[in-house]
Structure 1
Amino acid sequence: MNEHSEPTAATGEPPAGGGSADSATETFVAHRNLLFTVAYEMLGSAADAEDVLQETWLRWMKVDLEQVHDRRAYLVRIVTRRALDRLRSVKRRREEYIGPWLPEPLLTAPDVAEDAELAESVSMALMLVLETLAPTERAVFVLREVFDVGYDEIAAAVGKNPAAVRQIAHRARRHVDARRPREVVAPDVVRAALQSFRRAFETGDLQGLLDVLAPEVVLISDGGGVKQAAPRPIAGAGKVARFIVGGLGKAQVTLTGEPTLVNGGPALVLRVNGEIDGVIAASVEDGRIAGLYYVRNPYKLTRIASEIPLTLN
């Protein structure tokens, strides 16, 4: 099937009755937040997701709406194909990225955090797991597991037959389940752990850091070759704590943290001598921090000033 084929996913939306530019624009705007969320979860980059939305808009404006039975499904199909094409190209770029790569953090509204399913799907921890999938696997997983799109519609979007899509979905689900956090942790628990972490690094309290970090904690920092960052993930509470306290001591700077909501969960905006240095998010297990995700690359910090609306619907 191609993009001119009639989408088959049922959403309860009545068939399109007109083909005017105003009608097309109204439909696109109504589903824009959904389309952005799909693209972002497939790409991990708001900048790339916005480019995909622009491409989707240009394609959508050429569509004969009289031939479209389900506009929402049709738009999801277009955005998926555009995101899949871009994902294949950025995969190659990310292999040449300097140091560890982390998703671009998004400032999100409290309602995103209140939707457990949405919050987990855009969390730094899960987005990193999605990076380990092949492009088609990631597209199938996102559409099926996050947005509950039917197999026939996914098949049309990724250019596979439904039987193949079922197999890909099963393989991707098994891969993600083996690597994703063991449980969804309440935001208050994550917030409390980050507060303890914040107090410890602001006061240079090595023992305080050791107390809040899980024994096998992993710190991943992303400077993108623009800002200094650890060239590889740092594992172990002792190594992570010494890296933080030792780095602050050598740099002779004041590091402070400001609580915020990033990617649907509690996070900290870190400032060095009052200037924004980066964003740090965390995954928590048994009340202690098991993963720290520190984005310092300034090109990835442009979406933390205003809330980005995300939705599964």
Structure 2
Amino acid sequence: MADDKLQLYLAHRPALVDYAAPIVGCRARAEDVVQEAWLRFSRQADEADIRHPASYLYRIVRNLALDQTRRTATEKAQPGGDELLAELPASTASPEQAVSQQSELAAISRALEELPLRTRTAFEMHRLGGHTLQQVANHLEVSVSLVHQLVRDALAHCLAQLEDEL
């Protein structure tokens, strides 16, 4: 059966290269695709039920040629893309950064606890809760300018605490 596969391949090889060349855009790449197709075709178990071996071989060539075309298009769209990906920083913090961030959060939390209730509420609603100054003013039943001052005071206090602790 292996000899039958080889004979089939050799008989269709020039036609397979002609078939792949327009898909990949180059006869040299078509030769590579046909060679890869032969390797895949020859590895098929002799017991495999392939009713139309020539059609199967053409299908392998077509699929490999299309894969090659996609790969080439991707490389043209982003040359050196693999190298660029390797240089990107990790999306997670390093252990040192994580510890530093945790200590900063703890310092801010302590600073917020030191604030008067109204100042802390104004800050948390506006800066952490995303409420507008007007919404905070309505909630606290004070003027917008007073809310602005409260938020600014809270922020200054938190920054001062951060500087002292770090």
TM-score > 0.5 by shorter chain: no
TM-score, length of structure 2 as denominator length:
0.43
TM-score, length of structure 1 as denominator length:
0.24
Q: Which has the higher contact order (CA 8 A, sep 6+)?
A: 1
Give the helix-richer structure, 1 or 2. Answer: 2
Question: Which entry has the higher C-alpha Rg, 1 or 2?
Answer: 2
